[in-house]
Amino acid sequence: MAWLRTHTELLLFSSSTVLLLGGGLAWMLQALTVADVLWIAGTLLGLAFSIAWTLGAIRRRQPSVDVIALLALAGALWVSEFFAGAMITVMLASGQLLEARAAARARRELSLLVERAPRTARRRSDSGVIEIPVDEVVKGDRIVVGTGEVVPVDGRLTSPAILDEAALTGESMPVERPAGDEVRSGVVNAGPPIDLTAIAIAAESTYAGVVRLVEQAQASSAPFVRTADRFASWFVPLTLVVAGLAWVMSSDPVRAVAVLVVATPCPLLLAAPIAIMSGLARAAHIGVVVKGGGALERLAAGRVMLFDKTGTLTQGQPTLSDVVTASDRVDPAELIRLAASLDQISPHVLASSIVTAATRRGLVLDMPEAVQEEHGYGLRGMVGTQEVRVGKAAWIVGATQPAWVRQVRRRADLDGSLTVFVAIDGEPAGAMLFQDPIRSDAPRMVRALRAAGISRVMLVTGDRADIADTVGRIVGVDTVLADCDPADKLAAIRAEAAHAPTIMVGDGVNDAPALAAAGVGVALAARGATASSEAADVVLTVDRLDALADAILISRRSKRIAVQAVVVGMGLSLIAMIAAAFGMLPPGVGAVVQEVIDVLAIGIALRAVLPGKVHTIAMPPKDIAIAHELKVEHDAMLAVVEQIRAVADTLTTQSSDLAAAHTLLHRLETELLPHERADEALLVPLVDRALGGTDVTVALSRTHAEIEHQIGRLRRLLTGLDDDTVLPEDVIELRRLLYGLYAVLRLHNAQEEESAFSLVPAAHLEGSQTGPQRRTLSGAQH
C-alpha cells in the first residue's frame, strides 16, 4: 500500500495511456465496440481522479482548474465522445505526474539535528563516573565532558574549558571559558576533559530549543501553490460561461462539451512543471540543488538576502594572519615550520590551521618525537634536535610581559584574533595569530546578487559587532546585525519578510531555524553536509558563492518561461474555445487541437533547458592551469610580505641592524619581483579574457607598477648604506618605505584573490595549498 500511495501518478499515467492506445488500435482494426469500451474505461478513470482532486480542493478551500476537467470528462461520457474523454485523462495524468516530480517540496528532516544531540551523559558521583541517559540528568548533577564530545545539557563550568561554539553561534574560533562560566548544550569541548554542574535538564537546554525552533519555523512556512491554481479564479468561471452560452445559443450540448474539452488547462498542468523541472536541472548542473518547484519559484521571487558570517562570507576555518617573533634572530618561517611539525599529531582545533599555513608556504615538515600534551596548556616534543613547545602564553612566557608579547596581545585585540605561542629549546620564540578570513569571492558574489535583482543584503551573525562590521564593509552589505543567537536570527527573518520575500544563507546548525523560516533557505554544503542542509530549500554543493546568483537568474528565467508557456497555451485555448462555441470544433477534433496546443506550450517551456545568462566565469583548462601555478607562487610570497613588516618592526633610530634590510631587499628582487612580473604577463591577460575586458585589471596593473617602483626606491636608499654610515633620518625613511610597501602588498594580494583567483574553480586552487611547489612561472622570468 505504501508503494501504491507514492506511485499513484505513475500508475494513473501508465494505465490511461494504455487504455487510450489500446482503444486507438482497436479502432484501427474496426473493433469499434472494443475501442469504445477501452476509451470509456479511460474516461471513467480520469473522472474518478478528477472528482477526488476537486473534492480535495473544496476541502482546502482552494480554487482549482480540476473542475473544468471534471465537467469535460462527464460531458464527453454524456454526449458519447469517448475518445475525447480518454485523451483528456491522459493529459491530466501526464500533468499530475510532472507536477508530482517538479513541485513537491522535499521534506525537511531533522535527522541530523537529532543524531547530533547527545543521548547519554557521564555523571560524576562518589563511586566514580557513570554513563546515564541524558534525560536522567537533573539540576545539580556534576557532568564530565570529554575531548571532542558535545555538552549534553546547559551547565556551569567547574574548571576552565576550550569550547567550539560553532553549532550555536556559527563562530568558527574556539572560545576559552573560565571556571564559573555558564555553557550551553550543543557546544563541543575542544580542549581537555572538563567538569560542569547541570543548571537545566535536557528538554529545557539550549540545543533542544534549537530543534524546537526549526520545527516551529517549518510549521510556519507557506505551502507551494500550483501555478495552475492561480489562473483558476478567472479561468474556471470564464470557461463555464462560454460553455453555457454555447449550449444556450445553439441548443446543442455537444458544443458545450467541445468548449470544455479545448479548455482543459493542460498548458498549465504540463508546460509550467516542465519549465520548472528544466530550471531545477539547470541549477543542479552548476552545483545548486533546489528542493522542488516551490523552492525554485520562491527563489525567483526573493528580494532580501540575509547571510550568516562564519563559513558563508568567511572561510569558516582559522587561518594564519601574522607571525610575531621574540627577536630578529628568530626566522618566522622556521618558527612556523617547527610548530607545524609538532602539531602534525595534535588533536587541537588550531593544529590543522598551523600545518596548513606551513604547507602553503612550501615548508618541509619533520615528524616529531617524544610528544607530550600538557592538559589545558599545550604540546611539547622534539623536532629534530630542538625541543619545541606550542600553547598558551602563560605556559610559554610565564607572567612576564615583554614588548613583543604586548604587541601580540594588542594586535589580537584589534583584529579579534586567536594566538598560539611557541618556545624553542626552552626560550620563548614568538607567536602566531589566526583569523577567519573573508572568502575572496564574497564581494563579487554580493555584486552579482545585486545584478540578479536582490535589492537588500544583510549580514546576521553571532560574532562581535566590530568584526561583523568589518566583514560587512568589505563584502558590501547594506545592514549588519551582530551578537545574534538563533532566536535573534529568526526574528530578523520575520521582520524582513514583512516587507519583501527573503532568502537566508547559512551553513551551521545555529542557522537551521532561520533557514526554515525564510522564504528560501540556502545551505552551503560543499565542505560536508550539515543539519542546515536538511532545513534548507536550496543547497550549494560547490564551494563558489557566485553559483547562488546564477541559481537566482536560472530560477527567474525558468519562471518567466513557464509564464510565457502558460500565456501562449491558454491564449490559444481561448481561441479554440470560441471556435468550439460556434460549432467549428467537435469534441474529438478539439481534443487533438488541444494536444497540438499542449505540444507548442511544452516546446516553449523546454527553452528553460537551454543555458541562459550566468555570472559564473567559465575558464579554459589552459588558463586554469596557469592560475593554479600563479596561486602556488602567490601563497609562497606570503612569507616574504610578512618579512617586510618584521624587518620594519626591528628598526629604531637608536640601534639598527641593516643586514636584515639588505637580506630582505635581495628576496624582494629575486623572488617577489619576478612573481609580480609573471602576474602582469600571465594573470592580467587571463583575467581580461575571462571577464571580456580590461577595466577590472587596471588596478592590478597599477599596483604591479607601484610595487616595482617602491622596491626600486628601497634599492636606491640601501645602496651604499651600512651600519656605520646610517643616520637616524635614514632609518625613519627606511621604516616608512617598508611599512608603505607592506600596506601596498597586502592590499594588492587581496585584490588578486578577489578579482583573479576567485574566478578559478575552488577544486583547482585547493591543490595549491598542499604542496611545496614554488616559482615555476616567475622562475622563467629571471
Give catalytic residues, as residue numbers.
308
Bridge-based pairing of strands 520-524 and 538-540 is: parallel
Identity at 354, one-letter amino acid code: I
The DSSP element (H or E) to which 630 belongs, if any, is helix 621-636
488 three-class SS: helix
Q: Is the Cβ–Cβ distance between 432 and 388 less than 8 Å?
A: no
Q: Is the dihedral of CA 452, 456, 457, 461 positive or negative?
A: negative
Dihedral of the alpha carbons of 597, 602, 605, 608, in degrees to the nearest 10? -150
388 three-class SS: strand
For 4-11, the CB contacts below 8 A with 24+ separation are 9/93, 9/96, 9/97, 9/100, 10/97
Dihedral of the alpha carbons of 339, 342, 347, 350, in degrees to the nearest 10? 10
**Beta strands across the sheet bearing 427-435:** 319-325, 427-435, 418-424, 386-391, 378-383, 369-374
460 three-class SS: strand
Helices (H), 344-373: 351-360
Cell of 215: 520545527
For residue 410, what are the contacts with CB-CB under 8 A and spacing of at least 6? none
For residue 379, what are the contacts with CB-CB under 8 A and spacing of at least 6? 342, 343, 346, 348, 371, 372, 373, 389, 390, 391
Identity at 604, one-letter amino acid code: I
- Measured in whole angstroms, the distance separating CA 142 from the mean position of its chain's CA atoms is 39
Dihedral of the alpha carbons of 446, 449, 453, 455, in degrees to the nearest 10? -30
For residue 53, what are the contacts with CB-CB under 8 A and spacing of at least 6? 64, 66
Burial class (CB in 10 A: 0-12, 13-18, 19+), 782: exposed
